[in-house]
Structure 1
Amino acid sequence: MNSAAVRGLLLRGMLAGLGAGVLGLVVAYVVGEPQVDAAIDQEAHAAGHGHGAGAGSGSGSGEEGELVSRSLQSTAGLATGMLVYGVALGGLAALAIAYALGRVGRFGPRATALLLALGGLVTVSAVPFLKYPANPPGVGDPSTVGSRTTQYFLMVLLSVLLAVGAAVAGRRLVPRLGGWYATVAGGAVFVAAAGVAVALLPESSVEVPEGYPADLLWRFRLASLGVHGVVWVGFGLLFGELAERLLVRGGAGRRPRAPVAG
């Protein structure tokens, strides 16, 4: 693939990421923000019971004493974060898909984009979530945020490396097993390796306060994972369509072919 096509895919990837970020923003605002508000109310309620009336104002969850108000966090702050995340994700994923086109079987741009987006959802979001799930306000010691963030991103990196290793192993098995069985074997390798990593890596230092509503914790985590799912799937669908128009209907005129061995 020439450099002009890669630049075109990168630009379209960032545009698709922006669109996916908008979709994620809608879901985060409609589904996720009510859970954040409920968690803040729960934290304030617990602080009030623990320290008496008026003690909740020092918990850091209310609007008083905050550098950025809660209303601004849930609107402009949320929008900025989701859109920047979407554009960054789109650019990186577009480069990965540009490399993968023609190397993962005889899939066209649409199918390749959707497959790699689903792979990204599993490796970048779902597997790290199994080990270090998101936590609402009021859960976890604020002093451990730095170490917990480091643990999470190390898990993301490890999951991606395991996925790349499993994909390489699967490709090398194609001559022996054929495409279908090699794909299944590669997937099994990834699942087994990710399972071992989840089991052996250090546990999170987060402690859920006694009496914390389990349904609130579950809803918050499910909403967080749902936002990631909408962003990844939305990106795969949007970028697949844009890449199809660029490479098949427009400039390239034909689907990229798998490289010929030898």
Structure 2
Amino acid sequence: MSARAFLVRGLLAGLLAGIVTFMVAYAVGEPQVGAAIALEEAGGDGHSHSHAEGGEEGGDEGGEEAPEVSRTNQSTWGLLTGTLAIGVALGGIVALVAAVALGRIGRLSPGQSTALVTLIGFVAFALVPFLKYPATPPAVGSGDTIGLRTSVYFGYLLVSVVAAALATYGAVRLRERFGTYAAVVGGTAAYLVVVVVAGQLFATVNEIGDFPADTLWSFRLASLITLATMWGVLGVALTGLIGRLHRQQQAVAERKAFAASL
């Protein structure tokens, strides 16, 4: 199975994941974003935002700024464009990683190997960094610290991904000597030790202020559901497509072998 075959199916799976994620994000996430924006605007902090329903903002000294993007466009076409772009890009990356990993993580079929790569990717790239630095609504966080918050998030994400790759490699080596059970336990334990220690060393971001706890919880839960939807649909679709291709190739090989034996 070629990397090109993986990539094409990864892009298709990512496109599907983007569409489904848009629907989930619109139904589950957008109401929470709207609630957070309403709280932000009700705070009267005097800052201008791009959440309005259109029109222009008054600039300094009476100047004019470009028209804002309407909230309706943000929550529909803007959201759809974002989820499709992320889905396709993520699908392509996961597919290429799955192509490289094929045959290198045990005696797994292409479908099983792809499913495992997607699961590891979700945990290392999405879930664990989210648990350390969860999503925050528009009204939370100071603009003065956005650089620091971005740096620590991507730094922790890098640690998580590298630790997952090394733990997987170590688990494969352990499996050759001690069996599957020891390999899974050992690899998982090694990864958890690294991310837990790193989580204690990386800076903690706490800029919640007096933001309502129930709204914050609802926003973060919706964000996690959206994130899980993207990875879940991508994993199921890509695994199914790769498994189907593998079965087709096996059937062709069997027919050729049968014809050659006649």
Please tell me the TM-score bracket, short chain as reference.
0.7 to 0.9
> Take 2:22 and 2:223, find their aligned partners in 1: how far apart are those partners?
11
Deviates more, 1:177-186 or 1:149-158: 149-158
The superposition leaves residues 108-149 of structure 1 with CA deviations (integer Å, 9 ceiling, x where unpaired) of: 233222222121111011111121111001100123223322
CA distance in 2, matches of 1:159, 1:31: 28
CA distance in 2, matches of 1:175, 1:113: 21
Aligned to 1:217: 216
Q: CA deviation at 1:248?
A: 2.3
1:72 maps onto 2:73 in alignment: yes
Indicate whether 1:86 and 2:87 are aligned: yes
Is 1:12–1:239's contact at 8 Å kept on the other side of the alignment?
A: yes
CA 252–152 in structure 1, closer or farther in 2 if over 3 Å, else same = farther
8 Å CA contact retained: 2:52, 2:69? no
CA distance in 2: counterparts of 1:88 and 1:217, whole angstroms: 29
SS of the residue 1:120 aligns to: helix
Worse-matched range after superposition: 101-110 or 38-47: 101-110
Q: What is the DSSP-based 3-state SS (H/G/I as helix, E as strand, rest coil) of the residue aligned with 1:242?
A: helix
- Cα distance between partner residues in 1 of 2:220 and 2:194: 24
The residue type paired with residue 85 of structure 1 is I
Secondary structure of the residue aligned to 2:43 is helix
Question: TM (normalized to structure 1)?
Answer: 0.86
**Rounded Cα–Cα distance in structure 2 between residues aligned with 1:119 and 1:253:** 31
**RCO (CA 8 Å, sep 6+): is it higher in 1 or 2?**
1
Could you say which structure has the larger radius of gyration? 2
Change (3 A) 1:134 1:171: same
Kindly tell me the number of residue pairs found equivalent between the two proteins.
242
* C-alpha distance in structure 2 between counterparts of 1:60 and 1:24, whole Å: 23
Q: Which residue of 1 aligns with 2:207?
A: 207
Residue type at the aligned position of 1:133: P
Structural RMSD (CA): 1.9
Q: State the Cα distance separating 1:96 from its structure 2 match.
A: 0.8
Q: Relative to 1, partners in 2 of residues 1:172 and 1:195: Cα closer, same or farther, differing over 3 Å?
A: same
Q: 1:184, CA displacement in angstroms?
A: 1.2
Letter in 1 for 2:243: E
2:257 counterpart residue number? none
**Matched-pair contact (CA < 8 Å) for 2:50–2:71:** no
Cα distance in 2 for residues equivalent to 1:69 and 1:146:
26
CA distance in 2, matches of 1:253, 1:236: 26
Gaps of 5+ in 1: 255-262
Q: Which moved more, 1:157-166 or 1:143-152?
A: 143-152
Mapped pair 1:234 → 2:233? yes
Aligned to 1:194: 195
TM-score, structure 2 length as denominator?
0.86
Query: Distance between the aligned counterparts of 1:214 and 1:10, measured in 2?
Result: 42
Distance in 1 (alpha carbons) for counterparts of 2:228 and 2:195: 19
Q: What percentage of aligned pairs have identical amino acids? A: 45
Give the C-alpha shift of residue 97 in structure 1: 0.7
**Alpha-carbon distance, 1:252 to partner:** 7.9
Distance 2:151 2:88 in 1: 23
Which of 1, 8, 14 matches 2:5?
8
Q: CA deviation at 1:156?
A: 1.4
Distance 1:252 1:236, change over 3 A: farther
SS at match of 2:215: helix
Distance in 2, matches of 1:152 and 1:102, equals 32
Separation in structure 1 between the aligned mates of residue 247 and residue 116 of structure 2, nearest angstrom: 18
1:100 aligned partner: 101
What amino acid sits opposite 1:198 in the alignment? G
Corresponding residue of 2:17:
20
Alpha-carbon separation, structure 1, partners of 2:200 and 2:130: 13
Q: 1:245 to 1:134 in 2, by over 3 A?
A: same
Q: Which amino acid aligns with 2:236?
A: L
Q: How does 1:1-262 map to 2 (within 5 A)?
A: 1=1, 5-47=2-44, 58=48, 61-63=51-53, 65=57, 67-204=68-205, 206-210=206-210, 212-250=211-249, 253=252
